[in-house]
Chain A
Amino acid sequence: MATDLHQARWKKGAWYAGLGALALLVLFPVYMTIVRALSQPRAYVQAGQPPWPVHPEWDVFTRAFTDGDLGRKFLVSAVVTVCIVGGQLITATLAAYAFTFLQFPFRRLLFFVFMATLMLPIEVTLIPNVQTIRSLGWLNSYPGLITPFLATAFGTFLLRQGFRGIPRDLLDASQLDGFGHLAFLRRVAIPVTRPVVASFGVIAFLTAWNQYTWPRAVVTEGRWETIQIGLRTVATQTIDRNNVGFAAALLAALPILLLLIFLQRQLVRGLTTGAVKG
């Protein structure tokens, strides 16, 4: 009995050690980035690039805003993200409602056509889409950054799954109560599927905030850079100033980190949709 207990304790300790090693593996890249962001660049190189900060400069995070024009980039990213998330929530909710609760000719075909857009990532349609944006005069503008993402097959699918969980009787009861479809959508369907809507909203936010390829293609002026493409210059910056770039990268991840901490359940549910049945 005593040896069993001893063995169990030993096993537990080994497990914790393994977990600790894995945690180190995951966090080490971030830790090194923090070290580099804090260190005075020249002093750090002269000290032989040790795994701890050299001459830490804590104001580097505020300097990212003053030197790196990070404020403007945050603003552009925020506006683009909020508009995309809001727009997708509206268009996907409406479409998902139609596909779930309304009968009309070609419904199945149209749903299939909607889902087919999942096979057309922006990377494929990049060249003609950039041309479209250019011909509209929308390079370096909010409409250019936002419009192509105002509809989403993934969101439509997710919300339709949510709506399908609503008993048909609720719609019937609502109609007897004198409410039309739009009132049912607003009063019942959306509130009842709030967890699904929240999951989708969080995923949409994450995706929009983290976008790279499209803004990189339609932005040519620094003023219109999102935070993500602003990071591009870090690698090519002079060594003297790259600590500001590393600080910017850490700050760029902050909104999503907060999302992960405070809306973990919604985020995980959204990410694992389709991965695990039930």
Chain B
Amino acid sequence: MTRRAREALLGYALLVPSAIVFAWFFFYPLYRLFVMGLHQQNRTGTAERWVGWSHFGDVLGGEQFREGVRITGTYVLYTVPLGLVLGVLLAVAANRRLKGIKVFQMIFSSTIASSVAVASVIFVVLLNPQIGYFASVKMFSLSDPDTALRGVALSSVWQNLGLTFVIVLAGLQAVPDEVDEAATLDGYGPVRRFFRVTLPLISPTLMFLAVVLVIFALQAFAQADILTQGGPLGSTETLVWKIFNSQQPVDQGTGAVMAIGLFGITLVVSLAQFLILDRRVHYGN
């Protein structure tokens, strides 16, 4: 065997372990989603009949999916802008050469340690309608269908603070001191310096972060599962919550199509991310 053939063979061999997992748990299920979406099962899963592509239209245009998209979209709007603003605030505050600043940086990044589930339990303490410390605050009351999603979103914003802070701080620290010094020499005050110089320079980082937070929000499930169980009156049933609760044979076709819908949305967001990253790489060259 030639050296080249041996090298190629080794290459494929090294890819095999990953390839098996990807085929088995990423690409095969994607195919299965389409198959499921094209069939309707009976209640016990013992029989199925072909329902065809029109089923996709029915589900994606249907009340349940639209409601899921609306709730998830609202969730994105609640979590992403607020998360970004707070992250920038924390990072700007902690990006100073002050004594003890490391302690504050540690505190600000500390919510990284909390999982979605832990954050949700912590917000049970704060927002639970019976026992929550802020249960009486109407603005994000978990017992009111109009405000429950805000309460759930709040737990996400808090949970992501650490990550947001760490990423924005890294972005700020990558801004060369000379740039800020030059702007100072040009007579810019601190506020103008921030909005005219610093913010544009870290905007690629913020774009990246925005995409990450959007994807997190699209996948929101545990928060609703723990804090509200989707309630009250289904007002916190995110897309993933609906997919998760469509596992009975009779619902599977619908769940599969909704999952494909979620895939489509994720795809669009991820492509946006790639385009942004791609552009940034060009800045660097």
Contact = CB atoms under 8 A, between A and B. Distances in A.
Whether A and B are associated in the same complex: the answer reads: yes
Interface in B267-283: 267, 270, 277, 280-281, 283
Given A23-B108, A26-B108, A277-B174, A125 B11 contact: no
A150 B21 contact: yes
A16 B104 CA distance: 10
Contact of B36 (A27, A128, A239, A261): A128
Interface string A239-254: 1001001100110111
A27 B170 contact: no
B33 interface: yes
A147 interface: yes
At the interface, is chain A mostly helix, strand, loop or mixed?
Answer: helix
Contacts of A127: 29, 33, 36, 243, 246-247, 252, 255-256, 259
Contacts of A193: none
B195 interface: no
19 contacts: A19-B94, A94-B18, A95-B17, A117-B27, A119-B267, A119-B270, A124-B266, A132-B25, A147-B24, A153-B22, A212-B117, A235-B121, A235-B128, A253-B113, A256-B113, A257-B110, A257-B113, A260-B113, A268-B109
Contacts of B166: 268, 271-272
Nearest to A245: B121
Q: Which of A181, A217, A271 has the most CB of B within 10 A?
A: A271
Interface string A103-136: 1110100100110011111011111111110000
Contacts of A47: none
A141 interface: no
B14 A118 contact: no
Interface string A161-204: 00000000000000000000100000000000000000000000
A116 to B, nearest CB: 8
Contacts of A147: 21, 24-25
B11 A104 contact: yes
B123 A23 contact: no
Interface residues of B, number: 97
A156 interface: yes
B1 interface: no
A16 B116 contact: no
A228 B115 contact: yes
B226 interface: yes
Contact of B124 (A235, A252, A271): A235
Contact of B244 (A26, A126, A245, A277): A126
B84 interface: no
B113 A124 contact: no
Given A131-B32, A148-B25, A232-B226, A274 B277 contact: yes
Contacts of B27: 117, 120
B209 A19 contact: no
Chain A interface size, as a band, is 35 or more
Contacts of A19: 93-94, 101, 104
Interface string A10-26: 00100110110011001
Interface of A: 12, 15-16, 18-19, 22-23, 26-27, 29-30, 32-33, 36, 45, 49, 51, 90-92, 94-95, 97-98, 102-105, 107, 110, 113-114, 117-121, 123-132, 147-148, 150-153, 156, 181, 206, 209-213, 216-217, 228-229, 231-232, 234-235, 239, 242, 245-246, 249-250, 252-254, 256-257, 259-261, 264, 267-268, 271-272, 274-278
Q: Which 5 A-B pairs have the closest CB atoms?
A: A210-B115, A151-B21, A128-B32, A104-B8, A128-B29
Q: Which of B111, B125, B222, B256 has the most CB of A within 10 A?
A: B125
Given A128-B29, A256-B113, A260-B110, 11 more contacts: A23-B108, A29-B122, A32-B125, A104-B7, A105-B8, A114-B22, A117-B22, A213-B244, A249-B121, A271-B163, A275-B208
B153 interface: no
Interface string B119-137: 0111111101011010000
Contacts of A217: 244, 247
Contact of A249 (B122, B204, B246, B281): B122
B10 interface: yes
Contact of B7 (A12, A36, A103, A130): A103
A228 B104 CA distance: 28
B27 to A, nearest CB: 8
B111 A97 contact: no
Contacts of B277: 274
B11 A98 contact: yes
Contacts of A123: 218-219, 221, 240, 243, 259, 262
Given A148-B21, A267-B112, A120 B252 contact: no
B114 interface: yes
Contact of A18 (B93, B221, B247): B93
Contacts of B20: 151
Nearest to B263: A124
Contacts of B240: 123, 126, 213
